[in-house]
Structure formats: structure tokens, C-alpha cells
């Protein structure tokens, strides 16, 4: 089966690497003019003049990036199966729609307000109390399109800096840690869940994801499973879905946002799980049986951001697996990741620290269970 992928970045690359053993072929449609997959058949189509040619080559379509024009995905759906659907993209790329879906399914979220002016933003800050985070309703990711406001007097400046006609304003949560749950839903409605991961972000960019967590109560994992299953079923979803959450001090979970695709916080599954998120996504969209999601042992993904370390030094670490994306170095750019595994969490954390010390600018890791 030839699978069409909207987008041609590292996530598409990793989908292809997981799909070749299954006999899949891949055609990427890049609408940015800056493809980096470096694998498969890449079509650059910045003016949407090559869609017919793309569709003639593929049997079904998926995507590696949700910030796509919804009309484009809807047009593709008229000719080829698209998984996940355009409805999943429509909801996930609009934070207001996303929060409305969470509310409808009784999935708790931080308190929030929607605002459409600097004056309304200031009023929301006063109502919710400081600090708050203001985010553009669309287009923002990896810390872009948002600002932390610590004083209502700074609302006008935040409005100008974000420069978007509609913002969502969220109250800060006194959380213990940021976590994510990744699940996969097949065409037949079967759902499998990966162990939750603890995620450490710096400046809005994910730096470390560790799974499974040694101190996670089984009831918390079950709650997360129920939340994401509700989303999967409501959207009649096929493929991998990621739900990012805050875990509060009382153990409760508050939904932050979701991503309708394979996700950075699931990269640990490439080496640390029985079946990777990438293979399971491909199994799901092709109607194949879903694979085992169990962790082989404690695992941690370390993102390589901006500048690469020396590969030979990184690979001297026992049970370290380096995945490079073939990108040029640039501040804030995701260049690669390292997956680390160890028989115990204590040994794993030692490896993570050793790995971080070899990466220029990598922040010191500090996990909630230490």
C-alpha cells in the first residue's frame, strides 16, 4: 500500500521507517517548500497545483502535522480515505473548539476564557488571577503564539506580541508534573493505550519524556485512558491520538491540549515499547491488528535541540539509540532524539543526566519522582 503523508518532516520520516518493514511505500506532500524527511517520494506543492498527481499515487492519506488547511483535507477525503479525519484536524487546530469538546465530554481543564481584544484580555486576567497564559486560538505550537501574564497591566503588551484576533486565556495550575497519554484506535474501534509519560518542557519545547512513571497510581492511568477513549470514540478516530495533561497534587488530571498524530512524547516507544507509536499508527489506518503497547523497560526520550552533540559519545552510553533527522543546526530546531533504556528508573535517570551533559545547551533533567 502506498501511503500519502501530508507534511514531510521528521514525523513523516519516522512513519516511513516504521512502514517499510510492513511493505508500505510513502509519498509525501510538502506545502511549506522546506521538506526535511529525506526519504520516500517527496512532492513539493506550495501552491496546491500537484494535488491530483499526489492522489493518483496513493491508496490512503495521513498526516504528520495538524496545521493544515481544513478545506485541503476535506477535498482529499472526497477522493481517498484520510485517517485521522478532517474533523479531528478542525478541532485540534483550534483551541476554542478543543476546549469545547473537552467540556462536552466532561474532561476537566484549567479554568479558561476566550477573548477578542486587549481590554477583554485584561479583564480575563483580573478574573482568573495571575499568573495566566494567553495563547492564540490557532497556529501556535512549541511555545509560539503565547505569553505568560503576571500582571493585568501587561495584558495590552501581551495582546500585541501574540498578534492574533482571538486568544484563549488559561489559569495556571499548581501541578506536580506534565504528562501525556497516547492511544491508538483501529478502524474496527479497538483501542490500545501506551503507558503515560512524564514530560519536561523548557521554553515551551519538549526536552525529556520518560515512561512508564514509577510512582503513577493505576487509577490515574485508568482515568487518562477513559478521557482519551472518550475523545477517540466521539471523533470516530482512526490512528494515534495524544492528550497532554497536567497532574495536580491531589492526583487529578487536567487536559491541556491534544494532537491528532504521532507525537514527540511518544518517541520513546521506538525502542522502549513492544510496538512503536509509528508502527501502530500505520497498522490502525490500514485496518491491521494493533500491536502490543507495553514498555519493554523504563525508557526516556531526550530531544536534541538546536545543536547536535557528538554521535560517538552519545552511543557510548549503554542501550542508547540515536535517531537523527538529517537537519541543519539552528536555535530551537529539533534535530534528533536519543532513546535511553535501563532496568531501573534510578539507572535510567543516571543515563539521562549523562546524555544531557553531552548535548550543548541541554537543560538539567529533574523528574517529579526523584
- What is the pLDDT of the chain when averaged over all its residues? 95
Question: Any known ligand binding at 361?
Answer: no
Question: Any known ligand binding at 141?
Answer: yes
Question: Any known ligand binding at 57?
Answer: no
pLDDT digits (tens, 9 = 90+) for 276-294: 999 999 999 999 999 999 9
Question: Any known ligand binding at 87?
Answer: no
Distance CA 35, CA 327 (A): 10
The three cell numbers locating residue 106: 466532561
Residue ranges and CATH numbers for the domains of the chain are: 2-82 (3.40.50.20), 111-171 (3.30.1490.20), 175-357 (3.30.470.20)
Question: Any known ligand binding at 201?
Answer: yes
pLDDT band at 348 (very low <50, low <70, confident <90, very high): very high
Question: Any known ligand binding at 173?
Answer: yes
Burial 219-257 (b: 16+ CB within 10 A, else e): ebbebbbebbbbbbeebebbbbbbbbbbbbeeeebbbbb
| Amino acid 89: pLDDT | 94
pTM greater than the 0.85 cutoff: yes
pLDDT digits (tens, 9 = 90+) for 203-236: 889 999 999 999 999 999 999 999 999 999 999 9
CB-CB contact of 337 with 323 (8 Å): yes
Taking 80 as the threshold, does the pLDDT of residue 21 lie above it?
A: yes
Question: Any known ligand binding at 140?
Answer: yes
Q: Which of 41-50, 231-240, 292-301, 302-311 has the lowest mean pLDDT?
A: 41-50
| Amino acid 34: pLDDT | 87
Question: Any known ligand binding at 143?
Answer: yes
Question: Any known ligand binding at 74?
Answer: no
Q: What is the mean pLDDT of residues 11-18?
A: 97
| Amino acid 201: pLDDT | 95
Question: Any known ligand binding at 227?
Answer: no
| Amino acid 140: pLDDT | 65
Q: What is the mean pLDDT of residues 60-72?
A: 93
Question: Any known ligand binding at 316?
Answer: no
The three cell numbers locating residue 6: 501530508
Question: Any known ligand binding at 194?
Answer: no
Question: Any known ligand binding at 284?
Answer: no
pLDDT band at 10 (very low <50, low <70, confident <90, very high): very high
Amino acid at each position: 500500500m502506498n501511503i500519502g503523508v501530508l507534511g514531510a518532516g521528521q514525523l513523516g520520516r519516522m512513519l516511513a521507517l516504521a512502514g517499510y518493514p510492513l511493505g508500505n511505500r510513502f509519498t509525501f506532500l510538502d506545502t511549506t517548500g522546506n521538506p526535511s524527511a529525506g526519504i520516500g517520494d517527496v512532492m513539493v506543492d506550495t501552491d496546491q497545483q500537484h494535488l491530483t498527481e499526489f492522489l493518483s499515487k496513493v491508496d490512503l492519506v495521513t498526516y504528520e502535522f495538524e496545521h493544515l488547511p481544513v478545506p485541503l483535507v476535506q477535498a482529499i477525503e472526497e477522493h481517498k480515505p484520510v485517517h485521522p479525519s478532517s474533523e479531528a484536524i478542525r478541532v485540534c487546530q483550534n483551541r476554542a473548539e478543543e476546549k469545547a469538546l473537552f467540556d462536552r465530554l466532561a474532561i476537566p481543564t484549567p479554568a479558561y476564557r476566550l477573548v477578542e481584544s486587549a481590554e477583554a484580555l485584561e479583564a480575563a486576567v483580573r478574573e482568573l488571577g495571575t499568573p495566566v497564559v494567553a495563547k492564540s486560538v490557532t497556529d501556535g505550537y512549541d511555545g509560539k503564539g503565547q505569553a505568560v501574564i503576571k500582571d493585568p497591566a501587561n495584558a495590552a503588551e501581551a495582546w500585541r506580541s501574540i498578534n492574533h484576533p482571538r486568544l484563549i486565556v488559561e489559569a495556571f495550575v499548581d501541578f506536580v508534573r506534565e504528562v501525556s497519554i497516547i492511544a491508538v484506535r483501529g478502524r474496527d474501534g479497538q483501542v490500545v493505550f501506551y503507558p503515560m509519560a512524564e514530560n519536561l518542557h523548557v521554553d515551551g519545547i519538549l526536552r525529556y519524556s520518560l515512561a512508564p512513571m514509577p510512582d503513577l497510581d493505576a487509577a490515574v492511568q485508568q482515568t487518562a485512558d477513559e478521557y482519551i477513549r472518550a475523545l477517540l470514540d466521539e471523533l470516530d478516530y482512526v490512528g494515534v491520538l495524544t492528550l497532554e495533561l497536567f497532574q495536580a497534587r491531589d492526583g487529578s488530571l487536567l487536559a491541556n491540549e491534544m494532537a491528532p498524530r504521532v507525537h514527540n512524547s511518544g518517541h520513546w516507544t521506538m525502542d522502549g515499547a513492544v510496538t512503536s507509536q509509528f508502527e501502530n499508527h500505520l497498522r490502525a489506518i490500514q485496518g491491521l491488528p494493533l500491536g502490543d503497547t507495553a514498555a519493554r523497560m523504563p525508557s526516556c526520550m531526550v530531544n536534541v535541540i538546536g545543536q547536535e552533540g557528538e554521535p560517538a559519545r552519545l552511543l557510548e552510553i549503554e542501550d542508547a539509540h540515536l535517531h537523527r533527522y538529517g537537519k541543519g543546526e539552528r536555535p530551537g530546531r529539533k534535530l534528533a532524539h536519543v532513546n535511553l533504556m535501563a532496568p531501573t528508573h534510578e539507572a535510567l535517570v543516571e543515563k539521562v543526566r549523562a546524555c544531557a551533559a553531552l548535548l550543548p545547551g541541554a537543560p538539567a533533567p529533574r523528574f517529579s519522582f526523584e
